[in-house]
Amino acid sequence: MTVTIRWARPGDEAELVAMMRALAEFEHALDQCTVTEEQLHRALFADQPAAWAHVAEVDGEPAAMALWFRNFSTWDGVAGIYLEDLFVKPTFRRLGLAKALLATLARECVDNGYTRLTWAVLDWNTTAIALYDAVGGRPQTEWITYRVSGDELSALAGS
């Protein structure tokens, strides 16, 4: 078995969207996943990308992905990485792909002087939580994540 972690490239959009939708289904939120291949292409491959992605391949077959973007720490004064989605196809689980993708993002941080790799996990996803604990991740229990979207976002924008 040969495992390769590589940057996403044009032509990966359909596979990445399929994995995003599979993740949304796993998270019981498929109806909220409206991303298209065209949107993803623009986000990843524009002159100034909004996001980046890595693909893990097993024997040349796409098996997992990590989609991320840069954030900024006002306390550290440097960028970091926010991991938006990490997904391993069910048939490729337990091969170390998720850990390999996290290690790749950690290397991206170290190589670029970024001080943080951050992500969120659903509180019921005990398998992912166990992995994140095992790689040294620590829950930030003092913070509560907020989101405004949909009608509320439009109302706030109009206020």
For the chain, the domain total comes to: 1
Domain at 68, CATH number: 3.40.630.30
In contact, 98 and 105? CB cutoff 8 Å: no
Closest CA to 128 of 86, 95, 158, 81: 86
Closest CA to 61 of 91, 36, 86, 104: 91
Read off the pLDDT of residues 141-158 as tens digits, 9 standing for 90 and up.
999 889 999 999 999 999
DSSP strand pairing (61-73 vs 52-58) = antiparallel
Q: Which domain holds residue 114?
A: 3-157
Q: What Rg value do the Cα atoms of the chain yield, rounded?
A: 16
What percent of the chain clears pLDDT 70, i.e. is strictly above it?
100
Element (H, E) at 41: helix 37-45
pLDDT below 50 — which residues of the chain? none
Read off the pLDDT of residues 65-92 as tens digits, 9 standing for 90 and up.
999 999 999 999 999 999 999 999 999 9
DSSP 111: H
Tell me, what amino acid is at 111?
A: D
* Residue 67 pLDDT: 98
DSSP 73: E
pTM: 0.94
* Cα angle, residue 133 at apex, residues 136 and 95 outer, rounded to 5°: 95
